Structure 1
Amino acid sequence: MAYRAFLLLSATLSIVAAALARAPHIAADSGVPADASTTINANFFTFTGLNRTLWGEPTDGSPFKATTANQLDFPALADQSVSSTVLQFAPGGINPPHIHPHASELLVVFHGTLTVGFVDSAGKLFTQQLNPFEVFLFPKGLVHFQANLSPRVYGVALSAFGSSNAGTISLPKAIFGSGIDAEVLAKAFKTDAATVGKLVSANAY
């Protein structure tokens, strides 16, 4: 029992130490802007963009929708090393392979069943099927995805990030929608120019 308590205390202190090491302004209460025109009250620290209307299937007809609460949407998060995103999946919807260069991601499913996974730097795939209130970790900077493979049930999940702006790089768009020469892409993926042209068209910004 004492040994378990020691391990728990050690783990807690390690987490706190890591959090303090990442905090950019340890002496500040919050990332309140210096701009005197900004009114600082409880509303400044409140974000209503993740209200209950988001906790269902996407209403715009899209197969997947991500609604963020990061520093860009919620200025109070500046320097706080935390942000979140609501993920909505229509039946069959996917969040394509992508990376977050600035933070790890902790995802909890609230509705439906999601198939998730990431690929490590050695090329090994770690995949799991998540049910409501099950949690999965995507390590920082690794390629990962989420998919709702159900043909009938929508999915909803909430992601938390250890950064006020985790950043998202969608691999299909970064590769086929960025203007990389089609000949380079055809050789890299060992395919033909016509196939690359279709992928470029599908991922054009």
Structure 2
Amino acid sequence: MVLITFRHELIFKLVLSLATFHTVIAGDPDITSDFIVPPNVTNVDSNLFTFTGMRILLQAPPPTAFKVTKASIAEFPALNGHSVSYAVLQYPAGSVNPPHTHPRSAELLFLLNGSLQGRFVDTTNKLFTKTLQAGDLFVFPKGLVHYQYNSDANNSAIAISAFGSANAGTVSVPNSVFATGIDDGNLAKSFNTDIGTIQKIKAGFAPKA
């Protein structure tokens, strides 16, 4: 009896330790220095920690289609190791930010101007939807499919999204399904339709000549 109890306790501790380890590595790795200097940087000063890529938003005319301007590790290398990034989202009247996921972070959206429909689907296929007004915040849980829609036919909207990762990643649902070479027959069966319909949808994702 003592041996069985000991084995059960050992198995429980092993499972718990594995679960804890998995949780620890789920986000950006911790760094052991104050910051990480990019390989191509030889002079470290305040310029390293400054990103000016958002200035163009103050000077450019409003976009005619949905537009996202990112400040992630790709655009702002100083973010490496700090588990933060931003994106500015611009929604012309009637536009949509198509369904997508962020595999490495939740998204905290702050609506600066206009109104938006914020929507996400959980792992039970339940749709959560909320009409957001300027000043509202909405969180899209990590890894779940979500999107935003500006249903106002006359007014634009603008939002800022914060991420708990320097590289949250974006997986576009439409692009990953219809623009990656998945077999037409497989898609037709998956969506309970015919190959002709799938090919028409795929044609919309073909590169513009």
TM-score by length of 1: 0.83
What residue in structure 1 maps to residue 189 of structure 2?
Answer: 187
What residue in structure 2 maps to residue 145 of structure 1?
Answer: 147
Within-5 A mapping of 1:113-152:
113-152=115-154
Q: CA deviation at 1:49?
A: 1.2
Q: Percent identity?
A: 46
Q: Give the counterpart of 2:82 among 80, 83, 92.
A: 80
- Please tell me whether Structure 1 or Structure 2 has the larger radius of gyration of its CA atoms: 2
Q: Give the counterpart of 1:47 among 47, 51, 55.
A: 51
Q: Which runs of 4+ in 1 moved over 6 A?
A: none
What residue in structure 1 maps to residue 204 of structure 2?
Answer: 202
Tell me if the contact between 2:28 and 2:165 (Cα under 8 Å) persists in the aligned partners.
no
Residue type at the aligned position of 2:180: S
What residue in structure 2 maps to residue 4 of structure 1?
Answer: none
CA distance in 2, matches of 1:55, 1:91: 20
Residue type at the aligned position of 2:30: H
Can you list the C-alpha shifts for 1:9-40, whole angstroms capped at 9, x where unaligned?
A: xxxxxxxxx99x9563343111223x374321
Any gaps of 5 or more consecutive residues in structure 1? 1-17
Tell me if the contact between 1:176 and 1:204 (Cα under 8 Å) persists in the aligned partners.
no
What residue in structure 2 maps to residue 32 of structure 1?
Answer: 37
Residue type at the aligned position of 1:165: N
What residue in structure 2 maps to residue 169 of structure 1?
Answer: 171
Tell me if the contact between 1:31 and 1:80 (Cα under 8 Å) persists in the aligned partners.
no
Tell me if the contact between 1:116 and 1:147 (Cα under 8 Å) persists in the aligned partners.
yes
Can you list the C-alpha shifts for 1:52-79, whole angstroms capped at 9, x where unaligned?
A: 62598743x3x20011000000000001
Change (3 A) 1:58 1:175: farther
CA distance in 2, matches of 1:23, 1:183: 38
Say which SS state the counterpart of residue 92 (structure 1) adopts. coil
Change (3 A) 1:57 1:97: farther
Tell me if the contact between 2:107 and 2:140 (Cα under 8 Å) persists in the aligned partners.
yes
Change (3 A) 1:72 1:135: same
Can you list the C-alpha shifts for 1:127-179, whole angstroms capped at 9, x where unaligned?
A: 10111110000010000000101000001000000000000010000000110
CA distance in 2, matches of 1:177, 1:36: 34
Tell me if the contact between 1:91 and 1:153 (Cα under 8 Å) persists in the aligned partners.
yes
What residue in structure 2 maps to residue 112 of structure 1?
Answer: 114
Question: Does 191-200 or 44-53 show the bigger shift?
Answer: 44-53
TM-score by length of 2: 0.81
Change (3 A) 1:176 1:23: closer
| Count of aligned residue pairs for this structure pair | 184
CA distance in 2, matches of 1:105, 1:185: 29
Say which SS state the counterpart of residue 79 (structure 1) adopts. coil
Change (3 A) 1:137 1:56: farther
What residue in structure 1 maps to residue 6 of structure 2?
Answer: none
Change (3 A) 1:129 1:57: farther
